[in-house]
Amino acid sequence: MKKNTLLLLSLVLLLINASAQTTIFKETFGTTQPSRGTCTTVAVPGTAEVGKYDPQKNEQYVDHVWSTDSHVWNDGISYSQVSALSTNPGACDDSGTTLNIRTNNSSSYTGASGDGNLYFNANILNSFTINGINTANYDNINLSFGIYGKNTADVTLLKLQYDSGSGLTDIGTSQIGALNTKKGTWLTISNVTLATSSNLSLTFSTPNTNSANANAPIEIRIDDIIISGTPTSTLANLPNADSCKLTVANSTITLDGFVSGTVEIYNTQGKRVFTSELKEIIQPQLAKGFYIVRIGDFRQKISF
């Protein structure tokens, strides 16, 4: 019986490995806060009014809500930025820094999330870093994202780098350089190769001068940062493989041998659709389809 259980577990892992790429990390930048403190919000978002808060343009970076649903398969994700203070950072009608989230020009390419995107403004050295991305136990790791440039050739000025512990390494240079430089157009970058690391950081940055047009400030937006990869099939990913069992019957999940952890269920797009404290029997009430259950380092593909 024990041998059969291990054989079944191995087959499940092979099925996972043979399937399409899994979303490891995804950030869509959500949407902005509808109000700020005691500030009066403009009657029509996107319409500038002196002294009033515009949720489409004036949300400050520190006020943004970063969704935990974006952190697929990851714990300990953090964000950091380098930017300059804007003209009047304490005012209701000011965004605070030269790097913030805006919704007044939603991403519009095929599959775009719309709503919020990250806005790099002015000829200032702006950078945005995602820390703590875990790409360990994945092969064929790729990065994709959307990009917009207000002025001609803005998009080609974006610099993309990663750090897996040995310092910053430039990536995506050829993909960025090949972008259409037509201004005011949302474009996409894909198939940028990333390293395998349990603690990867990813940095997007813009220079402090516009080499294409010294009289026009750099204005770049990015959205839908997606890192995907193929899970490696190894029993080393599963703690206590002999004792931990997960079975599904009639939309009920039965867990045996697990002693700690939180139960998380993700759909095939990598979005977390259910979470629960560890219990012997779980009934998540999900639609029919394929899902991946995660409990600590344990992962198993299931279907209802």
pLDDT, tens digit (0-9, with 9 covering 90-100), for 127-142: 999 999 989 878 899 9
> What pLDDT shows up at residue 123?
84
Contact 27, 131 (CB under 8 A): no
> What pLDDT shows up at residue 284?
92
Choice between 72 and 293, residue whose per-residue pLDDT is larger:
293
- Average pLDDT of span 156-178: 95
Q: Is the pLDDT of residue 242 over 80?
A: no
Q: Is the pLDDT of residue 91 over 80?
A: yes
Distances (CA, A) of 207 to 19, 89, 96, 124, 168: 40, 22, 19, 6, 16
> What pLDDT shows up at residue 144?
98
What is the DSSP secondary structure assignment for residue 61, as one 8-state letter? G
Instruction: Please state, in angstroms and rounded to a whole number, the distance separating the CA atoms of residues 94 and 97.
Output: 8
Place of tokens 């899970």: 231
Helical H segments across 167-243, by residue range:
173-177
Region(s) of the chain under CATH 2.60.120.260: 22-231
- Give the pLDDT confidence of 142-154 residue by residue, as tens digits: 999 999 999 888 9
> What pLDDT shows up at residue 95?
94
Instruction: Please state, in angstroms and rounded to a whole number, the distance separating the CA atoms of residues 162 and 178.
Output: 20
Helical H segments across the chain, by residue range:
2-18, 173-177
Please state the pTM of the whole predicted model.
0.76
Distances (CA, A) of 173 to 86, 118, 157, 197: 29, 20, 10, 21
- Give the pLDDT confidence of 4-26 residue by residue, as tens digits: 444 344 444 444 444 557 888 99
The least confident of 73-77, 108-112, 197-201 is: 73-77
Instruction: Please state, in angstroms and rounded to a whole number, the distance separating the CA atoms of residues 229 and 212.
Output: 36
Q: Is the pLDDT of residue 68 over 80?
A: no
Region(s) of the chain under CATH 2.60.40: 238-303
The phi-psi region of residue 132 (left if phi > 0; otherwise alpha if psi is between -120 and 50; otherwise beta) is left
- Average pLDDT of span 231-252: 68
- Average pLDDT of span 91-117: 94
% pLDDT > 90, the chain: 55
Q: What is the band of 259 on the pLDDT scale with cuts at 50, 70, 90?
A: confident
* 22-231 CATH fold: Jelly Rolls (2.60.120)
> What pLDDT shows up at residue 73?
62
- Give the pLDDT confidence of 221-230 residue by residue, as tens digits: 999 999 999 8
Place of tokens 């998380």: 264
Instruction: Please state, in angstroms and rounded to a whole number, the distance separating the CA atoms of residues 23 and 266.
Output: 10
CA dihedral (55, 69, 133, 131) positive or negative: positive
**Is CATH 1.10.3470 the right assignment for the domain spanning 238-303?**
no
- Average pLDDT of span 232-252: 67
